[in-house]
Chain A
Amino acid sequence: MTSGGRRVVVLGGSGFIGGRAVEMLVARGYAVRSASRTARPLEGLATVEPFRCDVTDAASVRDAVSGMELVVAAFVGDPRTQVDGVRNLCAALSASPARLVYLSTAEVYGGSSGALDETAPLVRQGWDYSDSKLEAEKCLQRAASVGLRVNLLRPSIVYGPRSDTWTLELGNKLEARRWGTLGRLGEGTCNLVYVDDLVAALCLALERESAPGEAFNVNGPDTLTWNEFFAAFNAELGLPPLRDWSRTEAMLRAGIGQLPRTAKELFARRGGAPPPVARVPVARRRAGSQPLAARLLDVLKATPRWRSLTSVYPRSVVYLDRKARRMLGYEPAVRARDGIARSAAWFRRVQEGTS
C-alpha cells in the first residue's frame, strides 16, 4: 500500500521505537514530522521535519498534531509524562478527524500467565511503567467511546538497534561479564519482537483502520526462554559462554542490588525524576588488570532487578498476535536468530565508534 505522502507526526520520534518508525515511514513515502523534546534532526533524513514538543504541555501537543492526518504516540517517560501526554493528546484530537496509533505494552496484562490474547484482563502490577500505560489505555478507551479514532498496539519484548534495555544495557552487562543465565528463574518465556516488525505492524495499523479502541498484541515469530535469549545474544557478541547463576545466586544478587535502587526511587519520588541520560556502551575491558575493589564493584553491579527476576523472567506467558495477523495482515519477518545477530552487530558498531 502506498502512503500517498500522507502527513504523520511521530511523538517521541527521537526514541528507540519512534526513531525507527520515522525512518520506516519516510521509506514508505509519508511526510513525517518527528516530535520530541530535543527536536534533534535525524542523520540522513533531511525530509523529516523536526519539531520541538513537550507532551506534558497541552499547547505543545496541540501544535505538534495540528494539520496531521496520522499521529503515532511512541513517547516514553515517567508515569506522569505518560498519562499527561495521553490526556493532552486526547484533548488535542478531540475534535479532529486525525487517526492515532498508540504504542502500549503487553505488560498491561500484568503478571498474567498462559496464552493471552486481547480478551485477557488488564492487570495492575505495581510497576510504574506498565500501570501508567494501563492508565493511558483507559484514557484512550474513554476517548474512543466518544469518537477518537485510536488503535493500540501491545508489543511484547521489543529489541533491536538503539534498544536501551534489551540491546544496549544487556550488551553492556554481557560484555562486562555482569550477567548470567538465571537457572529455573530464567525459564519463562521471552516474547521477542524485533523493532522492524513492530514498526511494520504500526504502519499496517496506520494504513488499515480498525474500530475505535481496537487493541492488538504484537509479537515475534519465535518463542525463546529468557535463558536462551541471554545465551544467544552473548554468543552473537562472541563472548565466552555465560555462567549459569543458580536461582539462589540470582536472588541474592537481585536482593543486594535492590537496596540502592529502592533508596534511589524513594529519593526520586521526593525530588522529582531526573531527566533520562542516554547511555553508550562501555569500552571493551582489558582483561586481568582490575584491582580488587573494581572487581568487587562489578559483583555489586551485576544485579538483576528484583521485579524482573521474580515476575518477568520466570513468567510463562505467550502473547497471541492472531488478531493482528487476521485484521492487519501482520506477519513478523525477523526470526529471533537474525534479530539477535543484527542487534549484536549494531552493538559492536556503536562500541567501536565510542571506544
Chain B
Amino acid sequence: MSTGADERGVVVIGSGPSGAAAAEMLIARNIPTTLLESGSAPQPKLHVRIARDDYLQRMPGSDAGVPCVTSGDAGATWHSALEPGGLSNYWSLQTVRLHPDDFTEGRRLHERYEWPLRYEDLEPYYRRVEGYVGILGAADDAPGFPASRVRSARALPDDWAPIAKAARAAGQGFLHRSVVQSRAFDVTLTGTAFNSYAHLIRRFPPAAPLRLVTGAHVSHLEWDGKRVTRAVYIDRETGVERAISARAFILAAGSLGSPRILLHSTSADFPQGLGNTEGVLGAYFHDHPKCGGTIRLNRALTRVRIGAFLVRPPVAESPPLLAAACTLQSVKFARGVLRGSPSIGKSNELVWWQFGTMVPTDKNRVSLSAEAKDALGLPLLEVRMRFDDEVRLALATARERLLGHLDAAGLAPEVVAYRQDAPGASVHYGGAVRMHASPRYGMLDGQNRLHAAPNVLVVDASAWPTAAEKNPVLTIMALASRAADRLANELRSS
C-alpha cells in the first residue's frame, strides 16, 4: 500500500457543496489541503434555460438511485453523485437560510433534538457563502424567513400582493424565491448554474495550496489508538488501495457516503464504527418528504418564472419538528402553450412543490449490509425510511394553508395534478452522523468533530440533528465553512 503524505495538512473527502465550501475556507486560511473525489469526471449533462424556464435539466430524481438495500416505505430511492461537484450537479439552486427557530425548535420535544449551535454562530458563514455563490431573490426578512445577502433584489409582481397579504395575515412570509443568480438564457454542460466543482474548486487560484485527487473512493479511516492517521481509498482507475495521512480529516462524502465510511472504519476501540460509542452512528436519519402538483386559478397572474416561496406555518401553530414550506412557479411557457394559454406574460396555472420535515428517530437509519457488496467489494448500505402519518399530515396542512391563501386572494384555486413522492426523491437527507452536545445523542460536537476522535470532522448534511423544511444546500455550505474555519484556528494555534 503506497502512502501519499501531507502530514501538516488536511484531507477533505468529497467535492460536493460541503467539501468545496470546507476546502474554500482551508485554502483561504492557507492550510494545505488534499481533496479526494470518488468520481473521475463529471457525468455528461445538458442544461438549457430559455427566458428563465429550465429545460433538459437532468435531476437525480429520474435516476434509479444508488444500489442499496432499502426498507420502510415502498419505492424509496437514494441518490448520491460520485462525480466532481457531487450533488450540486443536480441542485435546484434554491437558497434559503435556516431560521433561528430551526436550531431550537426540537427542544419542545426532547433535548436530543437541540442543535449544539445557534443561528448567530452560522450567520457570518452564510454571508461568506452567499458572497461567492451570488444570490437573486428577496432582500428583506419576512415572518419565518431571514433574508440572505442578495446580489440582485427581487420582489413578486404587484398582482401577487393579495396572496402575500393573506399569508402574512396567517403569520407566514410569502416572497420571491431566492436562488443562485444565473443567466436568463443559458446553455451549460454542468447541469446547473452553480456546481461546487466547476464554479468553486476549478476557480481557485493556481497557487492555492490544494491538491485534487479524482477517482479516489475512500473506504475507511485508520485509527491508531489515539487519533485517525490515514484515509484509505481505492484508486478507481487501477483498483489499487492507497492511503493518505494528514493532521485532520474532513468527511464531506454526503449523507450516505460519510456514515458509510465511518461504519466501515472499525478497530478494536470502535468495533461498531469510528467514534460510535453510543450506537448513534447511522440512526436519526431524516429525509424531506416531498409532494407537489399543479394548481389552476380562476384568472391569470403575471408569470413568475423563478418562483415564489411560502414560508412554513408558524412554529407556535405546528406540532414540534413537523412543518412544510411551499414553492410556486408559473407553468413553463411551452407547457402553457400546450394547454392552450399561450400568453407570454401571464398564466393561470401554477406548479407547486413542497418539502416537509420529520421527527428523526433511531428507527430510520443507515447501516452496513452484512452480505451485499458493491462493485468495489465494499459492503452495501441498508437504508430504512418510513414517513409516518403525522409527516403526511404536516404536508397536507401546509398545502391547505397555501390553497387558503390563494382562495382569500380571490383566485379560487383547484388542484389539477398531484404527486406524493417516495422517500429519497428530494435528495435532502441527512442526520446519520448527527451533532449533539452530548455523545449520548450525537456523534459530533458543536464544531462537527467526532466526540471520540476529534481530528475527524463530518461537515455534510449527515451532521444535522434535525431537518428544516428548506432547501439545505446553502446551510450545508455555511456549516462546512464554519467547521473548516474552526479547524484552521485549531491547527494554527497548535
Q: List chain B residues, Cβ under 8 A from A322.
A: 389
Residue B418 lies at the interface, judged by CB distance under 8 Å to chain A: yes
A323 contacts B389, C-beta separation under 8 Å: yes
> CB distance A120 to B420 under 8 Å?
yes
Task: Name B residues whose Cβ lies closer than 8 Å to a Cβ of A.
Answer: 73-75, 291, 293, 389, 392-393, 395-396, 399, 414-422
Docked Cα-Cα span, A119 to B75, in Å, equals 19
Q: Are B421 and A114 in contact (CB under 8 A)?
A: yes
Which 5 pairs from chain A and chain B are nearest by CB?
A114-B420, A119-B396, A112-B418, A121-B415, A113-B419
For B417, list chain A residues within 8 Å (CB): 110-112, 123
A109 within 8 A of B: yes
Interface residues of A in 206-243 (CB under 8 A from B): 223
B416 touches A124 (CB 8 A): yes
Q: Which of A112, A115, A117 contacts B75 (CB 8 A)?
A: A115
Name the residue on A nearest B394 (C-beta).
Answer: A119
Chain B residues within an 8 Å CB radius of A117: 389, 392
Q: Say whether A200 faces chain B, with CB atoms less than 8 Å apart.
A: no
Give the chain B neighbours of A35 by CB distance below 8 A. none
Name the CB-closest residue of A to B291.
A114
Do most interface residues of chain A lie in helix, strand or loop, or is the interface mixed?
loop
In the bound complex, do residue A112 and residue B416 qualify as a contact, i.e. CB atoms below 8 Å apart?
no
C-alpha spacing A112/B292, complex, angstroms: 10
Which of B75, B393, B418 is close to A121, meaning CB atoms less than 8 Å apart?
Answer: B418
Contacts of B291 in A (CB 8 A): 114
Tell me the chain A residues, 98-116 only, with Cβ under 8 Å from chain B: 109-116
Could you name 14 residue pairs across A and B whose Cβ atoms are closer than 8 Å? A109-B418, A110-B418, A112-B419, A113-B420, A114-B420, A114-B421, A115-B73, A115-B422, A120-B396, A121-B396, A124-B416, A223-B74, A318-B75, A322-B389
Could you tell me the dominant secondary structure of chain B's interface residues?
A: mixed
- The residue from B73, B75, B418, B421 contacting A120, defined by CB atoms under 8 A apart: B418
Q: Are A119 and B393 in contact (CB under 8 A)?
A: yes
| Residues of chain B contacted by A110 (CB below 8 angstroms) | 416-418
What's the count of A-B pairs with C-beta under 8 Å?
A: 53
Q: What chain A residues lie within 8 Å of B422 (beta carbons)?
A: 114-115
A residues within 8 A CB of B396?
A: 119-121
Across the interface, do A119 and B395 meet the contact criterion of CB distance under 8 Å?
yes
Say how far A208's CB is from chain B's closest CB, in angstroms.
18
Q: With the chains together, A318 CA to B76 CA distance in Å?
A: 13
Q: B414 to chain A: which residues have CB within 8 Å?
A: 124
Do A114 and B419 have beta carbons less than 8 Å apart?
Answer: yes
Q: Mark A110-137, 1 if CB is under 8 A from B, else 0.
A: 1111111101111110000000000000
For A114, list chain B residues within 8 Å (CB): 75, 291, 419-422
Q: Determine the distance from Cα of A110 to Cα of B294 in the docked complex, in whole angstroms.
A: 12
A122 to B75, CA, bound (A): 23
| A213 CB to nearest B CB, Å | 15
- For the complex formed, measure the closest distance between the CB of B406 and the CB atoms of chain A, giving whole angstroms: 13
Closest beta carbon of chain B to A109's beta carbon, Å: 7
Smallest CB gap from B388: residue in A = A322
Shortest C-beta distance, B193 to chain A (Å), equals 29
Q: Are A123 and B416 in contact (CB under 8 A)?
A: yes
Bitwise interface map of A from 309 to 339 toward B, beta carbon under 8 Å scored 1, else 0: 0000000101000110000000000000000
